[in-house]
Structure formats: C-alpha cells, structure tokens
Structure 1
C-alpha cells in the first residue's frame, strides 16, 4: 500500500521519546520497507521473539489511527516519531475500533481492516514490542453495528443479527482476511476471544435471558458457567477476566486451569433511571473500567475489588482512566479535560479549553474520545484538526499537540 508521510508540528517532545525515535529510526518510516526484510542467515539461530517483517523495539510503539467519516481521510500517527502516514480513504465510517494492532473501520460496505504495524506480545514474565509497515489487510463483510474482538490467535466478528464468524489472526498478520469459520447460534453480544476459547452470551429461545456460553476455537460448545446477563451492553477484557455489562451491574467471567466461572458485580445501591453502564473504556491491561452514568457522572468499576464507584462530574462527553491510582479523566462540555480522584470523587486537576467548537458535535456526528496508555492520554479535537497528548501524572499537562491536515473525528490507539 502506498503511503504519504507528513511530519507533524509538535511541541515539547520529551527527551526520552526523542532518544527512542533515534533508536528506532531504521524502521520508523514506511520508506524503509520493513515488510520486505527477511530473517537472519541460516548460519545463526533465530533470535528469541523474532518476527519476520518486523523490528523489535525497547519500548511500546504507540500509534493513533484517525478518520474523518465525511471526507474519508484516514491517517496513522506514529507517536514515537511524530510522523503521520496517509492511507486509503474510508468514507462514511460509523465507528473505529481496535484489538491493539489492527484498526477496524466500520462502514456500510463492510469493515476495513488496517494493520497499523505496531503491537505488543506479552509472555507473562517479559514483553516484546514490535513495529512494522502499515498496510491494508482486507475487509470483513460486516457493516455498521458489527462488533470485532480479537486475541493473539483469532478475530471474532459478530454482526447486528447476532451471527458470528471467526478469522485466523495469522492471515491478517500476512495482509489477508482469509476464509472464516462460522460460529453456531446467535449471540446477544460480541463473541470475545479469551483464554484460548470464545466467550459469548446466547439466548435459550427467542425471548430468553442471555446466558454465558463458552466455545472452543473450532466452534464446539464446552461446559459453561450457569450465569445469565439481562439486557447485555458493553464488554471489556481485563487481567481478571472478561466483563459483560448487564442490567443489574457487571458479570465477570474467568478461567482457571480450563474451568470457567462467572461472578456478579452488582451496583451497590438503587440505580437511577438512565444511569446504567452500557459501554466501557479503560487502559489496555488495566482492571479499572469507566462508563458514563447518565449525563453528569461516571461509573468507575474496580474489577479487582469488585466495586462500583459513582463519581459526580460536570456534563460528560468522554471518560477514561489508566487505573492503579491514576485520575479519572473526563472531557466535559466546557471543552476542558478534568481529573478526579477515583476514590473520593474530588476534582484534582483541570486543563484550559482544549476543543474547538461544541465537544458533543464531532465531525460526522462522532464526539471526541480519550485514549489512555501507561504514561499519556490522547484527546482528539475534530474541529481543530489536532490531537492533544496529556501527561495525566503531571496535573494534566499538555505534553504535545499534533496538528493535522484532516478532522480526526474517529480515533483509536494501537501498539498495545
């Protein structure tokens, strides 16, 4: 895939990032053609962690995928080098999601798969970080409303009709979608790959309450925990297991030595109308989830402690947190980013106005989002054609601002 490369106007690039950019400069640009590099000679053993076509790096190789649904402009912003790569247009995208490496642009004619060339492999006692060329990997025949979830082995695509197909991840990594396997039955929520299995919520009968179901990767039904989830909405994969949002709280499904269990995490008080959690956002690898609680509050779900905390805020546009003692980050209708203590609910920091225009009226009807990694948060300003990088551990300091030649109405972070 032919890519155009632009250098962003940035300010205050940290010395560590600059040093890392020099360290990885040999694979930073697409003109380096990392996808064509071959393995070492047969005279030497293949290094541990070697991946053909990719270069291993010392730090996480974060990138942002950005899209303007109106014009179709699509960019990948390399947060290490500050370069922006122009990729094929995707017009009319209704959503943009990721599994940590691939960006999925959902549109009427299907879901476009973009390999962002940045990912992490966690071996438990150590981690590998990789970067490679950015390229298109094809398209799933599933349009708006499709849910895409993936792990290191498979990618599951669940359509609005509840039907699900499973693709081999190895094919996507080689730049092709391949032929999927169809999962039996219909599903009330997304099929989620987890612990070498597929978790889902199915209905026994047309109007039955959805129940947890566990399949192997070949599509065979295995023993499932006896647990239901009324009116499911929202899901997240954490280190403690998979969380499904339900009418009465959350359902945590865990695996231990091949045995699956389900545990309810109910709201600890009466739930006001319109305040249930219906979508979750969190830092990849974190066990702290956030979700809007109506228009003026945010739920914080501590999966480790099995507790919900309702934090009263101003009018909420977007929310997220890095967890583990970090502040709750809330974009409010004043266009500023606000930080709250997740334990006490007290305000701890606030930026000036960061967004141009009405924060609730993003390009194409999509509002801004907050992406969070281990050290920074990213806030897209569609009308201002820019992305802000926030140091949430330093009083919400604006560390860098990336000026763009398009309106980034949709945004996800990869490399995780």
Structure 2
C-alpha cells in the first residue's frame, strides 16, 4: 500500500546566501515573443543593465562538480565544484536543475529568467549558484515532471516528494517550498509520476523485487494497480498524458483510467529507459533480451504505442546506451549510436529518417557511472557530449548539422538544459 500524508509542511534547508552579485544582463525579444521560464514572476534587480544574452543554459556534470554553459556558444558561464558522483535533472521551472548527491537533491540556480513586458519579453541572466537549498533524500533517484508538478523519489526510503512549478519561482524563497510527501510500503529503486488533477503514479516493490505500479487520486486513494510489470523501471509521458513504465517483459501503459500491458516479443524483453514527447503518442525505449548479461549492448530500440499498447522493434545496426535516447521538437525518436551518429526515426513507422554524424565511434563503458556520449535536446538543438575529446557539440536538428563544438575544462558526463 502507498501511504500519503497531505498536506505535509516540510521545509527545505534555508541557509542559502543571496544570489551572486554579478552583473545582470537583459535583452528585448521581438514583439509577440512568448514568456519563457519564470515569465513575469521574479522581479529583476534594480541595477539590471540591458545587453544581449542567450536564454538557454546547459548544465554538465563531471567528476568533481558541474559546469554551466551558454546554450549557443558553449562558453563556460561557471564551474561549480561539488564532491561525489553527481547526476542532474530539470527542476521543472525552466530555470533551475536538481543535482543528485549522496543524500539530497541540491538546487542549482542557472540564473536564466524571462519577464513579460508589454508586447515583448526581457531576457535576464545572473551568475549561476549552487545553493545550499536541498530536498533531503536517501539515495536520490528518479526525477519526473508532469502536469506542472515535479516528483522526486528516494530509493533508500521509498519516500516521494512533490512540488509545483510555481514553488521554485524565487530562489531566495526556497525555504517556503513545502513538498507533499508520500511514503512507499518499502524502499526500492522506483519512480513517481505526477498526474493531471493532483494524483500520482508510482512503482511498487522492495529492495529485492519490483512488480508493478499503482495510481492514486489527489486524496491518496488508490485508483488502480497492476503487478504485471516485473522489474518495473523508468517512466515517460506521451501525448494526451499517457504514461509508460518499462518492464522485463515489455511495458505497462496508464491511460488515465486503467493499466494496459504492452507485451514484449521475447520472453525476456526488458525496457528500462524511455523518452516521451507531448507531440507523439509513441514512447521510445531501449530493448534488452539477455537476463544474464553483465552488460548487454543492444542494437534494437522499442517504440511503444500508448494507444494500442503494442511494441514495434527497430534494429539500428549499432548499439547505444541508456544516455542515448531523446525526442526531437516534432516528436522524432532520436538515438545516439555507438557509431557516433544520431539516428532519427519516425516514431509512427519506425523508419529511419536521417543519420547525423556527430562524434567518433565509441564503446559503452562497463560501469554505468562512467562518462559516455550523451544527448540532451532543447528546442531544435541537440547537445551531445564527447568525453573522449572533453567536448560538447551542438546539433541543429532542423538542418542535421553540427553548428558548434567546444572543448570544456572537464570530461562531461550527464547533461540537462534550461531556458527558452
């Protein structure tokens, strides 16, 4: 049983210093531009000086810290040291990211903001800050944002923390964020997905076995559950709010009222990592068939149709890793292969649409924490890490060309992006 405590007023750590006093930059967008992250929310500092500024920033983890980069030029905006193995996730507000440490989700303010001003927008940027504010969590795990709510899962306790997009609008006020907290029956490597209307979808399991998922309404009452998903892992949201969770024999689909099984073609057909898009009812997933492999290097990916609960398998002719899956601006399925190319698939048919050469051929390392090429999509740009060259590439997905490459001062590992 999943238990909920609502409302719970748990305050976050509140010892962050004020934002850095570096110069604040701003630029006017063309008339009619829509508001972006934090639009018309954070008041700009009184000494803000107007100047041209890029509104996208990229965050890259490395062994010993995180880099914040300009999304257009890849210039290093800041280098923030932090010990331990680090992971990075969007915080859900278009401005901040969550950095997973050993015992918390730390809040990194990238400093980008858009403020509506009449018939145009003002773009502001301040110095990034790795704040002291954190969501405490034993073994921080998956982070999911859906329906303007971000959900954090702590594998060490099974505790789930959920907060709304507006709760992070002002970095100085993070001590006022009081996440709703839910408790799993047992600790496990899980995930929780916020649902429209205030409900949630969460995995079921313990330290040794994961069996399925349950859906709860806004009051914490159970709507439905399924035990038909052995080894449940990962989640993605598709068009119309359908949710896919991976299993060792396919996937399960939540359509808002019930769970449906999408059966794999093989007795063991594991889908553990997924990428969804609001532009497509198809979810892109990995696909592995060897339950005894220490490291399987699959060449097939799965396309899970949330409407029919069926799975199409596509052989790429090259292997890939769990950091290889992404979606394009129109819902295209993108897979970064070990041949060094981004393979662009039509999710509805599985047909190869384009092959974009980006990096040299590479081999997936045996340890999952070790750097390997990773892909992050923001708008019509794909950002691809090149650990062997300590570089990051920018790919224009509309033209299929690499438009920028920059060597960075540390070997990049995981990526996240913010801004407009």
Is the CA contact 1:111–1:142 (under 8 Å) kept in the aligned structure 2? Answer: yes
Which of 202-211 and 79-88 deviates more?
202-211
Change beyond 3 A, Cα 1:129–1:388: farther
Cα distance change, pair 238–337 in 1 and its aligned pair in 2 (3 A): closer
1:365 has 2:394 as partner:
no
Summarize the Cα distance change of 1:289–1:411 in structure 2 as closer, same or farther, 3 Å threshold.
same
The answer to whether the 8 A contact 2:101-2:140 is kept is no
Tell me the residue number matched to 1:159: 154
Cα separation, 1, equivalents of 2:124 and 2:304: 32
Task: Look up the match of 1:280.
Answer: 274
What is residue 320 of structure 1 aligned with on the other side? 326
Deviation at 1:265, TM superposition (A): 4.8
CA distance, structure 2, for counterparts of residue 383 and residue 362 of structure 1: 16
Give, in angstroms, the shift of residue 337 of structure 1.
3.1
CA deviation after TM superposition for structure 1 residue 168, in Å: 5.5
Note the C-alpha offset of 1:297: 0.8
SS in 1 for 2:312: strand
Aligned residue for 2:273, secondary structure, equals coil
Q: Give the structure 1 partner of residue 43 of structure 2.
A: 53
Q: Could you say which residue in structure 1 is the equivalent of 2:406? A: 402
Task: Output the CA distance in 1 between the equivalents of 2:113 and 2:327.
Answer: 21
**Counterparts of 1:238-387 in structure 2 under 5 Å?**
238-241=238-241, 242-254=243-255, 260-267=256-263, 270-271=265-266, 273=268, 275-283=269-277, 286-294=280-288, 295-304=298-307, 306-313=309-316, 314-317=318-321, 318-322=324-328, 324=330, 326=332, 328-342=333-347, 345-352=350-357, 354-355=359-360, 358=363, 360=365, 365-387=370-392
Q: How much does 1:277 deviate?
A: 1.1
Distance 1:375 1:362 in 2: 31
Aligned equivalents of 2:385 and 2:366: distance in 1?
13
Question: Cα deviations across residues 230-258 of structure 1 (Å, max 9, x unaligned)?
Answer: 2321111333223222344333334xxxx
- Bigger mean CA deviation after superposition, 100-109 or 347-356: 347-356
Per-residue deviation, 1:280: 0.8
Q: Secondary structure at the match of 2:168?
A: helix
Shift of residue 141 of structure 1?
A: 1.6
Task: Please name the residue that 1:12 is paired with.
Answer: none
* Kept in 2: contact 1:332–1:338 (CA 8 A): yes
Quick check: 1:149 aligned with 2:149?
no
Alpha-carbon displacement from aligned partner over 1:303-346 (angstroms, at most 9, x marks no partner):
356442211011223233327473x4332223333344545555
Aligned to 2:236: 236
Secondary structure of 2:23's aligned partner: helix
Q: C-alpha separation between the residues in 1 aligned to 2:44 and 2:252?
A: 38
Q: Residue in 2 aligned with 1:21? A: none
Q: Is the 8 A contact 1:337 1:350 kept in 2?
A: yes
CA contact (8 A) 1:363 1:407 kept: no
**In the alignment, is residue 79 of structure 1 matched against residue 71 of structure 2?**
yes
Q: CA deviation at 1:361?
A: 7.0
Aligned residue pair count: 360
TM-aligned CA deviation for residue 105 of structure 1:
1.6
2:84 maps to 92
Q: Is residue 2:49 matched to residue 1:63?
A: no
Contact 1:333 1:358 in 2 (8 A): yes
| Distance change >3 Å, CA 155–CA 331, structure 1 → 2 | closer
Cα separation, 2, equivalents of 1:371 and 1:284:
16
| Paired residue secondary structure (1:383) | helix
Residue 164 of structure 1 contacts residue 182 of structure 1 at CA under 8 Å; is this kept in 2? yes
Question: Contact 1:214 / 1:222 at 8 angstroms: preserved in 2?
Answer: yes
Per the alignment, residue 105 of structure 1 pairs with 99
Q: Judging changes above 3 Å, is the alpha-carbon distance between structure 1 residues 305 and 293 closer, same or farther for their aligned structure 2 residues?
A: same
d(CA) in 2 for partners of 1:360 and 1:84?
27
Structure 1 residues 91-240: aligned runs within 5 Å: 91-100=83-92, 101=94, 102-118=96-112, 132-133=125-126, 134-137=128-131, 138-150=133-145, 154-160=149-155, 161-167=157-163, 169-175=165-171, 176-177=174-175, 178-186=177-185, 189-201=190-202, 203=204, 209-216=211-218, 220-222=219-221, 224-225=223-224, 227-231=226-230, 232-240=232-240
- Is the Cα–Cα contact under 8 Å of residues 288 and 322 in structure 1 kept in the other structure? no
Q: For the structure 1 residues 159 and 208, does the alpha-carbon distance in structure 2 shift closer, same or farther, using more than 3 Å as the test? A: closer
Consecutive unaligned residues of structure 2, counting only runs of 5 or more, are 1-16, 27-37, 46-52, 116-120, 289-297
C-alpha distance in structure 2 between counterparts of 1:337 and 1:214, whole Å = 38
In 1, are the aligned partners of 2:191 and 2:233 still within 8 Å (CA)? Answer: no
Supply the distance in 1 between the matched residues of 2:199 and 2:54 (Cα, whole angstroms): 27
